[in-house]
Amino acid sequence: MADPNNVLQSWDPTLVNPCTWFHVTCNSENSVTRVDLGNANLTGQLVPQLGSLPNLQYL
């Protein structure tokens, strides 16, 4: 995925909790409920792992 504006620079895969990442919202149980990248100017394919987020309500 191309990220020309470095929107995903806070997405550190070594962190256990992605709730600290920009553009990610979590519920009170630290489960991802929203990934909001609508204006991020990203190009490319989404990763299939997004389908593994059981509480994701908005993408």
Segment 20-43 shows an average pLDDT of 93
pLDDT score at 13 = 85
What does 1-59 look like in DSSP terms, one character per residue?
-B-TT-GGGG--TT-S-GGGSTTEEE-TTS-EEEE--TTS--BSPPPGGGGG-TT--B-
Q: What is the mean pLDDT of the chain?
A: 91
Where do the domains of the chain lie, and which CATH numbers do they carry? 1-58 (3.80.10.10)
Residue 1 has pLDDT above 90, yes or no: no
Chain segment 32-57, per-residue pLDDT in tens: 999 998 888 999 998 898 899 999 99
pLDDT of residue 10: 85
Radius of gyration of the chain (CA): 11
Count of positions (residues) in the chain = 59
